[in-house]
Amino acid sequence: MDRRFESSEAVAGTVPVGKRGGKPKRRSRFAHSPLVIFLNLCVSAAFFGVLAIGAVLYWGKGEFEDQGPLAEEANFVVARNSSLNSIADGLEERGVISNAQIFKFGARFANLGSQLKAGEYAFDPGVSMRDVLEKIARGESVQHAITIPEGWTVQRAFQRIAESEVLTGPMPSLPPEGMLQAETHLVQRGMTREQLVESMQQSQEAMVQEIWEGRDEGLPVEDIGQFVTLASIVERETGVASERPHVASVFINRLREGMRLQSDPTFLYGIYGGAGKPSEAPITRSDIESDTPYNTYRIGGLPPGPIAIPGRKALEAVAHPLETSDFYFVADGTGGHVFAETLDEHNRNVQKYRAIERERRADAEQATQ
């Protein structure tokens, strides 16, 4: 055979490794390096660490958003200047949330930890930590109503404010008579009495100023003080809002004619002051004849100051009185009043009212027999 065409491998006397028995390639000398082993361990640890952290975060997210442990409705008070730690711990102690640490982490993650607002909060059963956090951050606290009726004195209003259990702190000094806003005030638990009084006084002053500046021209009142004084008399004379412009017109007409106002609430204020007349105390002739600066049966013009807190309707009635020729009014026996231009007409109206009162007393006596 012609050997010129033999494989070059055969000629060279070599055989491929795969075609004969031979030693395997040697592993790199770095395979058993301590550094490589350490790095492998680090990578493995990091991988399992990430898995563990992910599992914890997934569990924590579920705890944060799932139904909470609260079994029945509960209120929780966040005091002023409370830290996130104290709020979270308090919520856990009250059983509102299940885990204070998760709550704190969730607050910080949502960037709400520094936005939690003081107040009293109501939580429904099963409320989640997310909902608790967001409610406190929004400041959706429980609002308590403190109602000051129109026509009360500042002294009576102060008594109600002092008795409130949701307010804190001492009472401030009494503002001028009539200069507190009479309405239903919504307050948060923990609000100070001084803060409420200051807010009520500022609101009343702003309202009085607004109505005074828009008053009709030619009113027989010299300044804003007299304006409030007359409004307080109108307020005390009738509880029917629709009547107030008419009542105001009677007093305006009397002032213009130089007639005494002859308003019962004024002499009663002169006798009893801001405490008010006791309900069981009858009005006597000596009361009507009492010698005080507030008795408009004895003095001309307006008394030296308001006798009560006037509301918006009374202030607007004085600022924009009804145009009438009436100088008198008396109760009509149904809660309102009947008005008259002349004294004779007024006296007839008084007689009608007295007849109604006599009939009522007779019916009441018969009912008790």
Burial class (CB in 10 A: 0-12, 13-18, 19+), 358: exposed
Spell out, as residue ranges, where the chain has pLDDT lower than 70.
1-41, 43-62, 369
Residues of each domain in the chain carrying CATH 3.30.160: 328-369
Q: Cβ neighbours of residue 319 under 8 Å, at least 6 residues apart?
A: 211, 212, 214, 215, 216, 219, 227
257: tokens are 């004619």
Q: What is the CATH number of domain 74-138?
A: 3.30.1490.480
CA 242 to chain centre: 29
pTM, rounded to two decimals: 0.77
Helix (H, G, I), strand (E, B), or coil: what is residue 125? coil
Q: What integer pLDDT is reported at residue 64 of this predicted model?
A: 74
The single-letter DSSP state of residue 74 is E
Determine the Cα–Cα distance for residues 126 and 359; give it in Å rounded to an integer. 62
CATH 3.30.1490.480 in the chain, residue ranges: 74-138
Q: What is the CATH number of domain 328-369?
A: 3.30.160
Backbone angles phi, psi at 303, to 5 degrees: -65, 170
* φ, ψ dihedrals at 212, nearest 5°: -60, -40
Q: In 10 A of CB 184, how many CB atoms?
A: 9
Q: What is the pLDDT of residue 284?
A: 92
Q: Nearest 5°: CA angle at 178, between 171 and 319?
A: 155
Q: Among 71, 78, 195, 65, which residue's Cα sits nearest to residue 137?
A: 78
Over the stretch 89-116, which tens digit does the pLDDT of each residue have?
999 999 999 999 989 988 998 899 889 9
Radius of gyration of the chain (CA): 42
Question: In one letter, which amino acid is 326?
Answer: D
What whole-number distance in Å separates Cα of residue 4 and Cα of residue 11? 10
